[in-house]
Amino acid sequence: MKIGILGAGAIGTAVATRLLAGGHQVVLSNSRGPHTLADTVRELGPGASAADRQEAARSELVVLAVPGDRTAEALADLPDWQGRVLVDATNDYRTPAPGAGEPTSSEAVAQQAPGARVIKAFNHLFAATLRADPRRPEGNRVLFVSGDDQEAKAMFTTLLTGLGFAPIDLGALAGGGRLHQVPQGPLVGQDLLRLTDNRAQ
């Protein structure tokens, strides 16, 4: 699958590394234009390319990996989402703890991308951890996922499993998203393994 990435910093390139290792293609974008991503594309290797935000956002699956205070800007003036899947990897430190009934940061992102099927993922671990092979000798790295669209989550968790992660669906963005919302969510920073003996493989 060709996957678009909005934001090509620590988290965008970490996710790109895993996707490329899984045989996918990635289209990276940033705020300054594709010409600034030549070194990044070269370092990532075959399967990686750079484009403008609009082109990256046309992909069937798009990962949002920009600073939490830049999401509105990054999602502005994009092609109609028409049900394409947007994976929100961002953390918004401006509103650390939404009160009961207040939108979580990924619900706020969903409001900025009308028509996108938004999934919250890749936000609860450090980029260096995500970049590493999730298949450890003792088991597979757990990734928490939340979202309101079951079909989108099924497609995404299948992709994650293919990359060697062990996805755990926490439910909808409102309830589940709160559990892995940075910084106070109880699952933030939990680097867990689903135990399985990978040494035999």
Which spans of this chain sit near ligand NAP (rule: CB under 6 A)? 6-12, 29-32, 53, 65-68, 70, 73-74, 89-91, 123, 126-127
Nearer to ligand NAP, 127 or 192 (CB): 127
Rank residues 100 and 128 by Cβ distance to ligand NAP and give the closer one: 128
Q: Classify each residue of 121-152 as buried b or exposed e, where b means 16 or more C-beta atoms within 10 Å of its C-beta.
A: bbbbbebeebbeebbeeebbbbbbbbbbbeeb
The CB-of-130 to ligand NAP minimum distance in angstroms stands at 7
Looking at the Cβ atoms of 182 and 193, the one nearer to ligand NAP is 182
Q: In whole angstroms, how close is the CB of 11 to ligand NAP at the nearest point?
A: 4
What's the one-letter identity of residue 108?
A
Return the number of the residue (92 or 148) whose C-beta is nearest ligand NAP: 92
- Cα(22)–Cα(31) distance, integer angstroms: 27
The residue with tokens 């990924």 is 106
C-beta nearest to ligand NAP: residue: 9
- The CB-of-50 to ligand NAP minimum distance in angstroms stands at 11
User: Please, what is the minimum distance in Å from the beta carbon of residue 25 to ligand NAP?
Assistant: 18
Work out whether strand 139-147 and strand 135-136 pair parallel, antiparallel, or are unpaired: antiparallel
What is the C-alpha to C-alpha distance for residues 156 and 69, in angstroms, rounded to an integer?
25
CB of 127 to ligand NAP, least distance (A): 4
Smaller CB separation from ligand NAP, 187 or 198? 187
Distance CA 44, CA 175 (A): 35
Cβ contact 166:54 at 8 Å: no
